[in-house]
Amino acid sequence: MGITGLLLCGFLVTHLAGNLLLLVGPDAYNGYAHALHSNPALIMVAEAILALLFVTHIFLAFATTKENRDARGPVGYAEMNSKIESRTLDAKISPSNWMFVSGAVILGFVLVHLFDFTLERRTDEEVKTSYAATTDLHGEQVKDAYGKAVAILKTGASFSGYIIGCVYLG
């Protein structure tokens, strides 16, 4: 569980570094996106590894939860020990009780992100238009990744959803 979590965090930091180029401007972000997508075989391998990591992490989360509940028995904890001696926590507000909720929110965020950016299934006209390919200086058909990201984040629901998702990820 820890290894898959660390590997997913490593991907997250790398992905964040690339996405922060949105703040630099269209040329930097589009250059990054074009360089990234110019090697489709690498993208396919990376996506397969990420999918395997996600599936393994989710499987291990359910297995660990079941194992912990089986070990504890039918009665849950009323209070839990803190790392500070002589201090206890109400078991209802323990961070471990929120892991499933935060994991579900993050999974939902990842699915929306894939729906928006990878599958390109948005129906808003401005976002659909931003998916269209344009011609670069060398006559190649390229997508305006920056325009797509800005169009997606312009809608109130998407902006709010991405803020909530990013807060949970943080």
Asked if residue 29 lies in contact with residue 146, where contact means CB atoms within 8 angstroms, the answer is yes
In a domain, 84, yes or no: no
pLDDT at 75: 63
pLDDT at 28: 92
In a domain, 45, yes or no: yes
pLDDT at 157: 83
Compute the 3-state secondary structure of the chain and give helix, strand, coil in percent, each to the nearest 5: 75, 5, 20
Q: pLDDT truncated to tens, each residue of the chain (170 aa)?
A: 899 999 998 998 898 898 899 999 988 998 888 888 888 898 899 999 999 999 999 999 889 888 877 887 766 665 555 666 766 656 556 666 677 788 888 888 888 888 888 887 777 776 666 656 555 555 555 678 888 888 888 888 888 888 888 888 88
In a domain, 114, yes or no: yes
Asked if residue 21 lies in contact with residue 29, where contact means CB atoms within 8 angstroms, the answer is yes
pLDDT in tens, 26-64: 889 988 888 888 888 988 999 999 999 999 999 998 898
In a domain, 124, yes or no: yes
In a domain, 148, yes or no: yes
Boundaries of domain holding 112: 2-71+95-169
pLDDT at 7: 95
In a domain, 83, yes or no: no
Q: How many domains does the chain have?
A: 1
In a domain, 87, yes or no: no
pLDDT at 73: 72
Asked if residue 143 lies in contact with residue 131, where contact means CB atoms within 8 angstroms, the answer is yes
In a domain, 144, yes or no: yes
CA distance 61 to 1: 7
Asked if residue 49 lies in contact with residue 163, where contact means CB atoms within 8 angstroms, the answer is no
Written as one string, the DSSP assignment of 35-58 is HHHT-HHHHHHHHHHHHHHHHHHH
pLDDT at 133: 56
